[in-house]
């Protein structure tokens, strides 16, 4: 029996090591490619060990595109404000739905569920946000459309509240004279850290990776997030490369680090998420597993 368990552990550990390598290898290859000289990359292909080390791709992004730091600032600001606002709205919607004594509970639940099935579409949404709410070229254009609240997150958090917050705890708080807001933020919230951290991470990831709102609603360079900015840098590089291939313009094709810049763009885009993820990953499995179980 002991030998059987030991054999299983060896196989399981070997499998996990193999899976970790499969996950980390693409990221390592991407990082090494971004640190490889462009001509060496074209001549020798991708390699885990650069034939010729170079940081020109990053220097190109930081020097020739000096607004990268500003784009990072906009993305950090949008992600922080958006995540906080989303969590606040989600909690304040999910908690009442979790209470069985809420008047009209089924109506509010149906309204939430209905928005998951039907939408007006891209063109009506664009007309609404630009002509009715006038958010074009404003900070709210990066914050509100499609990201400020998710019905799925509300349902998942409501399920967590229903299955993991005992009614007796809430009744005891009410007997002690606590208001509903005090119950939510001093009693319910500390007991719901796993689901809050999980949803917060997913929402923050959505805000950080979002480029569609910037593409649709932003024409002001001062409001470009890092994702929109990197996309435009890549588009400009492609245009310069096309001009060089056509023989037009004063562009030297050999001086354009298009391949390595693509890798550097990806590294710069995902680096903050990779730094934050280890601090919240312990909550993800617990939060999603418990929150997704129907109560």
Does residue 172 sit in the same domain as residue 76?
yes
Mean pLDDT to the nearest integer, 131-148? 89
Q: Given 14, 42, 64, which residue is the final one in a domain? A: 64
CB 144 within 8 A of CB 77: no
Does residue 162 sit in the same domain as residue 245?
yes
Q: What is the DSSP string of 150-206?
A: -HHHHHHHHHHHHHHS-HHHHHHHHHTT--HHHHIIIIIHHHTHHHHHHHHHHHHHH
pLDDT at 17: 92
Query: Residue 211: is its pLDDT beyond 80?
Result: yes
Residue 207: which CATH number? 1.10.3720.10
Strand (E) or helix (H) holding 93: helix 68-98
pLDDT at 81: 94
DSSP SS3 for 271: helix
CB 236 within 8 A of CB 61: no
Rg (alpha carbons) of the chain, rounded to whole number: 25
Does residue 158 sit in the same domain as residue 107?
yes
- Chain segment 147-160, per-residue pLDDT in tens: 888 888 998 889 88
Mean pLDDT to the nearest integer, 7-20? 88
pLDDT at 295: 43
Does residue 111 sit in the same domain as residue 186?
yes
Of 288, 225, 231, nearest in space to 265 by CA: 231
Does residue 210 sit in the same domain as residue 276?
yes
Query: Residue 103: is its pLDDT beyond 80?
Result: yes
- Domain span at residue 100 reads 65-292
Mean pLDDT to the nearest integer, 74-86? 92
Does residue 190 sit in the same domain as residue 59?
no
Does residue 277 sit in the same domain as residue 255?
yes
pLDDT at 65: 59
Does residue 43 sit in the same domain as residue 86?
no
Mean pLDDT to the nearest integer, 192-199? 86
Lowest mean pLDDT among 46-60, 124-138, 201-215, 276-290: 276-290
Does residue 151 sit in the same domain as residue 263?
yes
Does residue 14 sit in the same domain as residue 4?
yes
- Chain segment 54-72, per-residue pLDDT in tens: 888 888 777 755 677 788 8
Number of domains composing the chain = 2
Lowest mean pLDDT among 123-137, 184-198, 210-224, 242-256: 242-256
Does residue 6 sit in the same domain as residue 111?
no
Q: Given 49, 64, 79, which residue is the final one in a domain? A: 64
Query: Residue 3: is its pLDDT beyond 70?
Result: no
The sign of the dihedral angle between the CA atoms of 46, 47, 52, 56 is: positive
Lowest mean pLDDT among 133-142, 230-239, 252-261: 252-261
pLDDT at 58: 82
Of 179, 185, 160, nearest in space to 287 by CA: 160
pLDDT at 207: 92
Does residue 169 sit in the same domain as residue 40?
no
Q: Given 64, 88, 110, which residue is the final one in a domain? A: 64
Q: What is the pTM of this model?
A: 0.79
């Amino acid at each position: 029996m002991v030998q059987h368990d030991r054999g299983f552990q060896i196989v399981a550990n070997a499998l996990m090591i193999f899976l970790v390598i499969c996950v980390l290898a693409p990221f390592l290859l991407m990082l090494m490619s971004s640190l490889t000289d462009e001509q060496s990359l074209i001549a020798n292909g991708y390699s885990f060990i650069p034939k010729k080390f170079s940081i020109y791709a990053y220097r190109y992004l930081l020097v020739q595109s000096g607004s990268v730091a500003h784009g990072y600032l906009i993305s950090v600001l949008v992600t922080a404000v958006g995540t906080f606002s989303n969590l606040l709205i989600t909690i304040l919607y999910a908690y009442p739905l979790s209470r069985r004594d809420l008047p009209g509970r089924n109506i509010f639940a149906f309204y939430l569920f209905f928005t998951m099935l039907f939408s007006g579409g891209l063109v009506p949404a664009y007309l609404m946000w630009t002509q009715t709410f006038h958010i074009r070229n404003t900070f709210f254009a990066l914050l509100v459309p499609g990201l400020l609240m998710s019905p799925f997150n509300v349902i998942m958090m409501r399920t967590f509240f229903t299955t993991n917050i005992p009614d007796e705890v809430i009744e005891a708080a009410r007997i002690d004279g606590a208001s509903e807001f005090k119950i939510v933020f001093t009693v319910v919230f500390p007991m719901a850290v796993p689901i809050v951290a999980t949803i917060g991470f997913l929402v923050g990831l959505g805000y950080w990776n979002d480029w569609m709102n910037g593409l649709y609603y932003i024409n002001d360079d001062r409001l470009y997030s890092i994702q929109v900015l990197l996309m435009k840098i890549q588009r400009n590089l492609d245009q310069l490369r096309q001009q060089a291939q056509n023989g037009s313009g004063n562009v030297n094709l050999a001086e354009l680090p298009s391949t390595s810049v693509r890798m550097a763009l990806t590294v710069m885009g995902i680096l903050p998420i990779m730094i934050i993820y280890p601090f919240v990953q312990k909550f993800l499995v617990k939060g999603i597993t418990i929150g997704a179980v129907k109560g």
